[in-house]
Amino acid sequence: MRPTEAGQHGIGTLLLWGASLLLIIVLGGALPAGAAPGLCVGPVCGEGFERSGPYPWQMRMRVQDPWGHRERLVVDCRDGSISPLLGPVERGYASAVGRRACRQAPLDPRVHPQASPPPLHPSEP
């Protein structure tokens, strides 16, 4: 028997398939699997951020988690509170997404002068 026949050809093929399978497993775990768009904190992601017209310190957004829970929230950017207080999406992460969104989209006092904080001293303009 020649060495390239049954024995070594079978081991080489087995090693090739094993290496291919290992590569697929490693690369398959490294690729994002349906990552949600928007701003994410932990497992919760938010999108559709918009300021409320009559209440510019409020931000409305949609949040979702990897388990398929979705809901709309309102964040008060003055103190970081969210409404509603209870819901299917974990509130700690949802609140963190809201606070981060408020920091990244600060309120412009030139656009919303009624929402700007009062001056520290009465003599300031």
Tokens matching residue 110:
């030139």
Q: Give tens-digit pLDDT for 28-50.
A: 443 333 344 689 999 999 999 99
> Would you list the domain boundaries of the chain?
39-105
Is pLDDT larger for residue 81 or for residue 125? 81
Torsion of CA 13, 16, 19, 24, to 10 degrees: -100
Q: Phi/psi at 96 (nearest 5 deg)?
A: -65, -40
Cis peptide bond N-terminal to 84, omega within 30: yes
Q: Give tens-digit pLDDT for 49-71.
A: 998 888 888 999 999 999 999 99
**Is pLDDT of 9 > 90?**
no
- pTM of structure: 0.58
Tokens matching residue 72:
């709309």
SS3 at position 59:
strand
